[in-house]
Amino acid sequence: MKKHLPGLITILVLLILSALVVLPMGDGILFGKPVQLGLDLQGGIHLVYEADLSGVADEDKDATIEGILGVINNRVNPLGVSEPNIARQGENRIVVELPGTELSDAQKQRIGSTALLVFGEIAGADEEATWVNELGRWKPATAEIDGVVKELNSSYFNENTFVTTGQFGGIELNFEWNGEGSAISEAVTTRLVGDRLGIFEGDTALIGDDGLPIAPTVNTVITDSGVITGLSTNEAQLLSRQLNAGRLPVPLEVIYENTVSPILGADFVDLSLLAGIIGIILVMIFMTVFYRLPGLMASVALLVYVVLVLAIYKLVPVTLTLAGIGGFILSIGMAVDANVLIFERMKEELRARRTVGAAIEAGFSRAWSAIWDANVTTLIVCAILVWVGGSVAAGAPVQGFALTLGVGVLASMFTAMFITRTFLRALIGSKAAKNLKLFTTETGDQNA
């Protein structure tokens, strides 16, 4: 017993430190870190956008994606979402995770839209129309500046648009042109005084509060600044934020969306916790009934394993999703599987009339190669799943499952080969080790 006292003390210290990290589950006493829950457990939105980089040179693609990340970050901040995650996935995808919130379809669209307002004029009968609505056929309003024909659009706005209430109580979206925009605007509005100037976003006209396309009549020449009227307050504020946040350099398309309400996420947490507790209790009962004293020792080691793994999840940190919890529970089974291999080898040694001490050492030695092979192959699969999960739009749950399973497998190897082994070695020479019935259900001569 004294020989194995350092090992037992090490396990006790490890258990206490891990428990201080884990408890309370909100913020642990040690390091004060909470368990990171995925969007499917705390509620929120997971969006994956795909950028159209077909017109971007290869050497500029990284800079383009970085620019998109900055613009989306600026657009998300005004939504008041705490701890949003905006990251690149693969070559041309952007992952946006907004925990604990719900967005309207319009807000989701706003995050990834190009936010380019284009001003249009009525197209002639023999001219091709870009837009058609109840107000007529429209083409982009253009002007020739220094010999180059340029389109009047919001890319020439200074990033200081704002919303005010006009003299007659209407909502006004105020904007300013930069130097080049002023020149284009002056040329266009000089030509269109008395005519309508339509405002379009993408393929459709900007719709006013009355449900009709916004197309104010040009009353005077506009040079440095202007206003857009007819918008609702909410629409004008959203548009102002988006224009100030910058324009996306390339179009984005939502290719994956997963929304979970906070209430449903809380239910998932409760069910997962219940399933985990029931599973651990059943495994402990099984091990104790079938393997008796070694099984009881393995059950105690299993509790240490659970606390240790949860501490690692908090410290790394590992974001727990519903699939991730599945990986954790599966790793518990693999931790027990290692003990089953060891205990079956021990039984064989006891049937061969070896002493309990010799059977324990032989059991661990003979089972090690099988445990190593099984766990290494599992770790290889986990690495593949992490790689595959990072290359597909809906791959976050796959990555979460692989990560929690991989961490659990590594911890299970340590638990089986060090903690369980130390517990059993500490029994050698004790009165319990002389009772063979405590080690196997099979009868035989006692050799300890």
The predicted structure's pLDDT at residue 245: 61
Got the DSSP string for 36-92? PBPHHHH-EEEEEEEE--TTS-GGGHHHHHHHHHHHHHHHHGGGT-SS-EEEEETTT
The predicted structure's pLDDT at residue 448: 43
Residue with tokens 């399973």: 405
Number of neighbours of residue 97 by Cβ within 10 angstroms: 20
Number of neighbours of residue 87 by Cβ within 10 angstroms: 10
The predicted structure's pLDDT at residue 29: 86
Report d(CA 333, CA 341) in Å as an integer. 12
C-alpha dist (Å) from residue 342 to 41, 55, 426: 36, 60, 16
The predicted structure's pLDDT at residue 55: 77
SS3 at position 34: coil
The predicted structure's pLDDT at residue 447: 47
The predicted structure's pLDDT at residue 106: 65
Write down the pTM of the prediction.
0.66
- Could you tell me the two tokens for 412? 């299970």
Report d(CA 151, CA 276) in Å as an integer. 61
The predicted structure's pLDDT at residue 446: 47
Are 237 and 18 in contact by the 8 Å Cβ rule? The answer is: no
Got the DSSP string for 130-181? SEEETTEEEEE-EEEETTEEEE-BGGGB-S--EEEE-TTS-EEEEEEB-HHH
Report d(CA 155, CA 157) in Å as an integer. 6
The predicted structure's pLDDT at residue 88: 87
Question: Within 13 A of 395's CA, how many CA atoms are on the CB side?
Answer: 18
pLDDT digits (tens, 9 = 90+) for 316-368: 888 788 888 888 888 888 888 888 888 888 888 888 888 888 888 888 888 88
Diameter of the chain by CA atoms? Answer: 110
The predicted structure's pLDDT at residue 115: 63
Report d(CA 169, CA 237) in Å as an integer. 16
Digitized pLDDT (tens) for each residue of the chain, 448 residues in all: 677 788 889 999 999 999 999 888 778 788 888 877 877 777 788 888 888 888 788 888 888 888 788 778 777 776 666 677 888 888 888 888 887 666 766 666 667 666 677 889 999 888 888 989 888 899 999 998 888 898 888 878 787 788 888 777 778 888 888 888 899 989 998 988 888 888 887 777 877 767 778 888 887 888 888 877 777 787 777 667 666 766 667 777 888 888 777 666 677 778 888 888 888 898 889 889 888 888 898 899 989 999 999 999 888 888 788 888 888 888 888 888 888 888 888 888 888 888 888 888 888 888 888 889 988 999 999 999 988 887 777 777 888 889 999 999 999 888 988 998 898 888 887 777 777 777 766 655 444 4
Angle between helices 233-245 and 61-76 (to 10 degrees): 150
Are 175 and 161 in contact by the 8 Å Cβ rule? The answer is: yes
The predicted structure's pLDDT at residue 37: 80
The predicted structure's pLDDT at residue 308: 92
Number of neighbours of residue 1 by Cβ within 10 angstroms: 11
Report d(CA 207, CA 351) in Å as an integer. 85
Number of neighbours of residue 56 by Cβ within 10 angstroms: 17
